[in-house]
């Protein structure tokens, strides 16, 4: 008899992800600012990036499972029916963060690094020292 899964179906996993997204929107981080001549403290809610790692932390906090490694790696083929939903969750995280960085909600440099979108350029400069009178 096989081992029972902590998350019984891909549909339940998707429901957990939707609950995570809702939880993040209902519990934003806050920027603390002091405004006016009296320095009144103002808390400005900030949208939180949705990440796969954050989703795993949410599941652990909810007592569901500590990580999704078995579900996402599918080493023994026991989680094949979860691969489409894992891909969908990762794509949702990517798109949310990409859009947020694109419109300036999130720090574009941090999100680009997280998403693996850093552009690497290499410039090669060659110089010639011919026909210069003081060079022998």
What would the pLDDT profile of 24-43 be if each residue is shown by its tens digit?
A: 999 999 999 999 999 999 99
Instruction: Please give the pLDDT value at position 1.
Output: 39
Find where tokens 């574009």 sit: 108
Domains and CATH numbers, the chain: 10-115 (1.10.132.80)
Cβ atoms 50, 96 nearer than 8 A? yes
Q: Report H helices in the chain.
A: 10-26, 52-61, 69-73, 83-102, 108-115
Q: Which residues of the chain have pLDDT under 70?
A: 1-3, 115, 117-123, 125-136
């Amino acid at each position: 008899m096989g081992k029972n899964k902590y998350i019984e179906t891909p549909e339940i996993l998707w429901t957990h992800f939707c609950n995570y997204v809702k939880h993040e929107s209902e519990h934003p981080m806050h920027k603390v600012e002091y405004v006016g001549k009296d320095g009144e403290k103002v808390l400005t809610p900030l949208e939180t990036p949705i990440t796969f790692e954050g989703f795993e932390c949410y599941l652990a906090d909810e007592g569901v499972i500590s990580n999704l490694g078995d579900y996402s790696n599918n080493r023994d083929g026991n989680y094949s029916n979860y691969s489409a939903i894992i891909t969908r969750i990762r794509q949702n995280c990517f798109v949310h963060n990409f859009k947020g960085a694109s419109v300036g909600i999130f720090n574009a440099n941090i999100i680009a690094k997280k998403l693996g979108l850093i552009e690497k350029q290499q410039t090669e400069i060659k110089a010639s020292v011919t026909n210069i009178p003081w060079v022998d």
